[in-house]
Copies of this chain bind each other. A is one copy, B any other.
């Protein structure tokens, strides 16, 4: 553990977030997401909720301002918003400002996960809780 870094962020995850550059994507998968099958780089966060993790990640992670929708979620089967998305939007608004979410069909979402820089597996029990973040630039 270090001062000022939430203990939910494991060393590999923070290392991977630091390695990422402009336009690279990071996927947070829920407990049933086929993370190990998709991931180029897999980070396991078993037992943790996705929102708690997202909040810790967004402490350090800049979103891409060069694209219209730097955040994507997996579209539900019935076209309704999943309840957890509201929580995601509040976290992101608080850290990086309001952002509209892109909705991506399930199998297209898997394809994006295979192209992502890394995929995080969590223990999130909510359905349709998968989310993709596109990294922006840090201006020092």
Contacts and interface: CB of A to CB of B under 8 A. Distances in A.
The count of identical subunits is 10
Interface string A1-32: 11111111111101111111111100001011
A111 interface: no
Given A21-B32, A23-B34, A47-B48, A7 B137 contact: no
Nearest to A21: B34
Interface string A77-113: 0000000000000000000000000000000000000
A19 to B, nearest CB: 4
Interface of A: 1-12, 14-24, 29, 31-37, 44-48, 59-62, 117, 121, 123, 125, 127, 137-140
Contacts of A23: 34
A65 B30 CA distance: 18
A10 to B, nearest CB: 4
A33 to B, nearest CB: 5
Nearest to A4: B60
Contact of A22 (B12, B32, B61, B138): B32
Contacts of A19: 11, 35-36
5 contacts: A3-B60, A8-B123, A21-B36, A22-B34, A47-B48
Nearest to A123: B7
Contacts of A121: 21
